[in-house]
Amino acid sequence: MTNIDFKEWNNAFRKLKYRHDTWYIFRDFLDMTIDNFTIPDQTPLFEHKDKYTEEEYTYFGELFNAYIHSMQTELEKRPYCDFLGEWWEADQDMTNKFNAQFFTPLDVCDVMCQLTLDKSMGEESKVMYDCCCGSGRFGLAHHHYRPQDFFFFNDLDQYAVKMTVLNMLVHGMRGVVAHMNTLTEEVFWCCQVTPFLYEYGGMPYVVPYGTDIGGALSMLPRGRTVEAPSFNTIDSDNREHNNKKKGVLDEWL
């Protein structure tokens, strides 16, 4: 794995840490950035407009510029990069080690894709599904080998799924991201991510769907999943209830 230089990013981040906790700064950065790529007339994720001073908002602008510049630098070295995820693991204030949260190394993701993806899959677009996506690393590796595919990501950690959204936007990926509990199927928030739209200047964009996972999944091609997921719940005795919930997702997968 390439060692990323976080100096520019950390310098910008440090300006906000004098008055605010690292966790909240990073959360608000993710929310503000996703909001900037969200189509108009949608409820924003960031709802703390009075939390920061006018000067501090300029620091968030510097933080975004540092992120984009660092990504450009890294993408000159390799085909894809999980800048935010690698910083998350490297920063002792952010790594959630007490919950055993560790992301799969990018080189391992790449090797697994080389072992599982083959030419017999054809050129037709399929759906790659990751039920515990972290920052979306398996998707980044998969997209490198099959850029025509769609992606469906979900994770219980809100930071992880938002990092996944930004990774999709930067790498030109299309699909659905859901902040949800995969075991119980409870959806807290979900969105569609699309790499290009002429009406919005050719920029990638996000369409939020709230908890309407069925509506968000409407963008996926039906019945073309690379590996079909299992959506069984812990209530194994209530088969009718389980099948009803499972059907909403299986219609598209």
Q: Are residues 191 and 88 in the same domain?
A: no
Q: Are residues 112 and 186 in the same domain?
A: yes
Q: Are residues 122 and 236 in the same domain?
A: yes
d(CA 147, CA 174): 9
Q: Considering 50, 73, 95, which residue would you say is the last residue of a domain?
A: 95
User: Does residue 1 sit within a domain?
Assistant: no
User: Does residue 244 sit within a domain?
Assistant: yes
Q: What is the mean pLDDT of residues 175-202?
A: 85
Q: Are residues 197 and 110 in the same domain?
A: yes
Q: What is the mean pLDDT of residues 88-97?
A: 64
Q: Are residues 112 and 82 in the same domain?
A: no
Q: Are residues 86 and 110 in the same domain?
A: no
User: Does residue 243 sit within a domain?
Assistant: yes
Q: What is the mean pLDDT of residues 2-11?
A: 87
CA angle 90, 136, 56 (to 5 degrees): 55
Q: Are residues 64 and 89 in the same domain?
A: yes
Q: Are residues 90 and 110 in the same domain?
A: no
Percent of the chain with pLDDT strictly greater than 70: 78
Q: Are residues 177 and 210 in the same domain?
A: yes
Q: Are residues 87 and 110 in the same domain?
A: no
User: Does residue 44 sit within a domain?
Assistant: yes
Pure H helices in the chain: 7-14, 22-36, 54-75, 83-90, 106-116, 137-145, 158-171, 213-216, 239-250
Domain of 159 in residue numbering reads as 106-250
Grade residue 142 by pLDDT with cuts at 50, 70 and 90: very high
Q: Is the pLDDT of residue 218 over 90?
A: yes
Closest CA to 139 of 182, 106, 162, 92: 106
d(CA 142, CA 249): 21
Q: The CATH number of the domain where 232 resides is what?
A: 3.40.50
Grade residue 189 by pLDDT with cuts at 50, 70 and 90: very high
Q: Is the pLDDT of residue 141 over 50?
A: yes
Q: Considering 71, 95, 119, which residue would you say is the last residue of a domain?
A: 95
More confidently predicted of 215 and 100: 215
Q: Is the pLDDT of residue 2 over 70?
A: no
Q: Are residues 86 and 173 in the same domain?
A: no
Q: Which residues contact 217 (CB under 8 A, 6 or more apart)?
A: 152, 176, 248, 249, 251, 252, 253
Q: Which residues contact 166 (CB under 8 A, 6 or more apart)?
A: 30, 33, 34, 84
Q: What is the mean pLDDT of residues 55-60?
A: 94
User: Does residue 2 sit within a domain?
Assistant: no
**What global pTM score does this model have?**
0.84
Q: Considering 95, 117, 135, which residue would you say is the last residue of a domain?
A: 95
Q: Is the pLDDT of residue 170 over 70?
A: yes
d(CA 151, CA 129): 6
Grade residue 196 by pLDDT with cuts at 50, 70 and 90: confident
The pLDDT of residue 81 is 94
d(CA 207, CA 193): 7
Structural domains in the chain (count):
2
DSSP states of 33-97: HHHHTBPSSS--S---TTSS-HHHHHHHHHHHHHHHHHHHHHHTTSS---HHHHHHHH-TTT--G
Q: Are residues 29 and 114 in the same domain?
A: no
How do beta strands 127-130 and 186-194 pair?
Answer: unpaired
Q: Find out whether 202 and 212 touch, Cβ atoms under 8 Å.
A: no
